[in-house]
Structures are given as structure tokens and as C-alpha cells.
């Protein structure tokens, strides 16, 4: 946690200050050199703790941004999914289709109910030509398939 690393860095800097203060009182050159080396070590340790705190903070900032993006995507889907309703599309199959008031200029389409339940907008796409008046539709998101008569159309 950055707060802990920052506190440790501040503690190290305080120790450096105390050593510097003690150095002023020294008269002996050898003791002065010894304290100088000790001071350099404490300063290096403090800088290391500050760098660790900065790195930890950067990781947390990245995580916060990712979570904010996830929340925004979830809210956007929550608003968009209100525009769809579950409809029977034939032979016991269901799919989501735009509600009448939300259609505007959108072409008729079906959304996969499995993906919809997982918070994803995934279209059911026709695989090919009609087989015995039925069309096979495949979800681009989960690869599920269903066969129905005809194509999506607004009722």
C-alpha cells in the first residue's frame, strides 16, 4: 500500500536529518566520514522506499482506471438492454429484439439470449441459404445456433 511505503520513506528521511544534525556536532574527521557513509545509506534507503511507493500508487491508479471503465461499460449496457425485449422467434426459440419505441432506423435483428444474460450484445447471424424453409442462425459471441423460419422482422 503506498501509504506504508511513503511513511517508511519519511521515517528514513527523518533518520537522515538526525544523522546530519549529529554530524554538525562532530569534531573528529574519522567519525564525520563514518556518519557521511551512514547518511548516504539512509538516503538511498529512503529513495528506494519512495520509488516503491510511487510504483504501488501507479499500479493502483491503473487498476482504478480499469474498474472505472468496467463500471462505465456495465452502465452503458444496462441502459441499452432496456431497449430490447424477449420474443419467440419460432420452434421454441427465443431472442431479444428492439422494442417498438426504440427501433428508429435500425434494421430488424435478434440478439442472442445467452450473451444478453451475460451483459453482451451479440447478434444472431444467418449462416446460409434456407434449408426446408428454415434458416440457421449462429451467435457470433457464444457460437450457439438456432433454426427458424424466415428472417428477423419487426412485428
Q: Which residues of 3-13 are buried (b: 16+ CB within 10 A; e: fewer)?
A: eebbebbeebb
Per-residue confidence (pLDDT) for residue 62, from 0 to 100: 96
**What pLDDT digit, counting tens, does each position of 95-139 carry?**
999 998 888 888 889 999 999 999 889 999 988 766 667 888 899
- DSSP assigned state of 132: T
Sorted by where each begins, the domain ranges of the chain are 2-79, 83-149
Q: Which residue has the higher pLDDT, 15 or 125?
A: 125
Per-residue confidence (pLDDT) for residue 147, from 0 to 100: 82
**What pLDDT digit, counting tens, does each position of 27-44 carry?**
677 777 888 888 899 889
Residue 72, C-alpha cell as written in the block: 462505465
Residue with grid cell 420474443, as numbered in its chain: 87
- DSSP assigned state of 95: E
Per-residue confidence (pLDDT) for residue 91, from 0 to 100: 76
The CA distance from 9 to 15, in Å, is: 10
Identify the CA nearest to 56 among candidates 4, 116, 114: 4
Residue pair 115/121 in contact (Cβ under 8 Å)? The answer is yes
Amino acid at each position: 500500500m503506498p501509504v506504508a511505503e511513503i511513511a517508511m520513506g519519511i521515517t528514513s528521511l527523518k533518520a537522515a536529518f538526525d544523522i546530519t544534525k549529529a554530524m554538525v556536532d562532530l569534531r573528529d574527521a574519522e567519525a564525520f566520514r563514518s556518519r557521511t557513509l551512514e547518511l548516504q545509506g539512509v538516503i538511498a534507503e529512503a529513495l528506494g522506499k519512495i520509488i516503491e511507493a510511487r510504483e504501488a500508487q501507479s499500479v493502483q491508479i491503473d487498476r482504478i482506471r480499469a474498474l472505472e471503465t468496467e463500471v462505465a461499460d456495465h452502465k452503458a449496457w444496462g441502459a441499452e438492454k432496456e431497449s430490447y425485449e424477449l420474443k419467440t422467434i419460432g420452434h421454441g426459440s427465443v431472442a431479444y429484439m428492439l422494442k417498438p419505441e426504440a427501433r428508429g432506423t435500425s434494421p430488424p435483428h435478434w440478439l442472442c439470449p445467452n450473451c444478453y444474460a451475460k451483459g453482451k450484445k451479440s447478434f444472431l447471424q444467418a449462416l446460409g441459404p434456407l434449408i426446408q424453409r428454415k434458416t440457421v442462425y449462429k451467435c457470433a459471441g457464444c457460437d450457439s445456433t438456432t433454426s427458424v423460419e424466415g428472417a428477423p422482422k419487426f412485428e
